[in-house]
Amino acid sequence: MKQINTAILLSAILVLMFAVSVSAQGSNFANPDVEYSFDLPDAKWKMTVKPSATSPNVEYVYVDRSEGHLDVRKLAVRDKAILSDVIRDEEQKLVLLPGYVAGKDENFGGFLNGTVFNYEFVRSGRPMSGRFYFLKVNDNTVYVLRFTGFRDKLRSIRNQTDSIARTFTLKKV
């Protein structure tokens, strides 16, 4: 009888663990107005700007904007532009942020390969950070996944930002 109770208890624990893991899973972003898709690893990511036929931009927040903000942009670059030059061009828009400090660039691989650009800045006296994924599609197109948030919060969800960038892919036509 004790073995049956233990087996029932163990089964109940496994079912509960499975239910929790399923509810914690995220979703997939895909929209007919854009040519890309990506996976959201956590249901806490909420869309705040939906793409349309006139504006292909999409934005998500993680819980709230200060904890994590994702902004996806498509950049048209000059023919055969070097990715480091594209990053430096984008960095010129950031240098005026209060307390701006550039971080290290990192090579990155997923469905699309590219470079991650890290930086820190201050907003309303709070330490913030940015982590931009520059994903090269071809000689003329780069997608930028711009993550920003409180420095400690963004650092704590880095595995999620990496996962989103790793699963970012162009739709098959």
- Write the pLDDT tens digit of every residue in 127-152: 999 999 999 999 899 999 999 999 99
pLDDT of residue 26: 74
Q: Is the pLDDT of residue 126 over 90?
A: yes
For 161, the enclosing helix (H) or strand (E) is helix 158-167
pLDDT of residue 25: 64
The HSE-up count of residue 36 (CA atoms within 13 Å, CB side) is 25
pLDDT of residue 2: 59
Q: Is the pLDDT of residue 5 over 60?
A: no
pLDDT of residue 4: 59
Q: What's the pTM?
A: 0.83
pLDDT of residue 14: 40
**How confident is the model over 50-106, as pLDDT tens digits?**
999 888 899 999 999 999 999 999 999 988 889 999 999 999 999 999 999 999 999
pLDDT of residue 121: 97
Domains and CATH numbers, the chain: 26-170 (3.40.1000.10)
**How confident is the model over 7-51, as pLDDT tens digits?**
454 444 443 444 333 344 679 999 999 999 999 999 999 999 999
